[in-house]
A and B are shown apart, each in its own frame.
Chain A
Amino acid sequence: MTKGGSVLDRQPVFVLSQVCLNKNGRDILKEIDWRVGAGKVSIVLGPTGSGKTSLLRLLNRLDDPTSGDVLYMDRPIKTADVRDLRKEVGMVLQQPFLFDGTVLDNVLYGARLHGIDADVDEIISLVGIEKDMLPQDVSTLSVGQSQKVSIARAIAVKPRVLLLDEPTSGLDPTATLQIEELIAGLVDALSLTCVFVTHHIEQARRLGHRGILIIEGTCIEECDIQDMLSSPADERTRKFISGELR
Chain B
Amino acid sequence: MSQLIASTVLLAIAIILTEVRRLGVGWDILKGAVRSFIQLMAVGFVIKFIFGLEQVQYQILLLLVMVVVAAYTARGRVKSMPGAFRISFISILAGASATLGVMLALDIIDASPNYLIPLGGMIIGNAMNALSLGFERIGSEVKQRRGEIETALCLGASPQKAIEPLVRRSVKASFIPMLNLMKIVGIVQMPGAMTGMLLAGADPLDAVRIQLVVIYMLVASTSITMLMGTAFTYRSFFNRNWQLMG
Contact = CB atoms under 8 A, between A and B. Distances in A.
Nearest to A113: B156
B154 interface: yes
A224 interface: no
A62 B153 contact: yes
Interface in B95-150: 147-148, 150
Nearest to A98: B151
B241 interface: yes
Nearest to A100: B165
A7 interface: no
A113 B155 contact: yes
B158 interface: yes
B161 to A, nearest CB: 7
A99 B241 contact: no
A63 B242 CA distance: 9
A86 interface: yes
Given A90-B154, A90-B155, A114-B156, A99 B148 contact: yes
B153 to A, nearest CB: 7
Contact of A64 (B153, B158, B243): B243
Interface string B145-189: 001101111111110010001000000000000000000000000
- B: interface residue count bin: 10 to 19
B147 A109 contact: no
Contact of B156 (A63, A87, A95): A87
Contact of B150 (A62, A83, A157): A62
Given A61-B243, A113-B161, A86 B148 contact: no
Contacts of B155: 86, 90, 109-110, 113, 153-154, 157
A92 B157 CA distance: 14
Contacts of A61: 241-243
Nearest to B154: A91
Contacts of A100: 165
A111 B190 CA distance: 53
A82 interface: yes
Interface in B46-70: none
A113 B165 CA distance: 15
Contacts of B243: 61-64
Interface string A49-71: 00000000000111110000000
Contact of B154 (A62, A64, A114): A62
B147 A83 contact: no
A134 interface: no
A97 B147 contact: yes
A97 B148 contact: yes
Contacts of B242: 61, 82-83, 86
Contact of A93 (B151, B156, B161, B241): B151
A129 B99 CA distance: 53
Contacts of B154: 60, 62, 86, 90-93, 154
Interface in A25-77: 60-64
Contacts of B241: 61, 64, 82
20 contacts: A61-B243, A62-B150, A62-B154, A62-B244, A64-B241, A82-B242, A86-B153, A86-B154, A86-B242, A91-B154, A92-B154, A93-B147, A93-B151, A109-B152, A110-B156, A110-B157, A113-B155, A113-B161, A154-B154, A157-B156
Given A86-B156, A154-B154, 16 more contacts: A61-B241, A82-B241, A83-B242, A86-B242, A90-B155, A92-B154, A93-B147, A93-B151, A99-B152, A100-B165, A109-B152, A109-B155, A110-B157, A113-B155, A113-B157, A150-B151
9 closest cross-chain pairs (CB), A and B: A110-B155, A91-B154, A97-B151, A86-B156, A82-B242, A97-B147, A97-B148, A87-B156, A83-B156
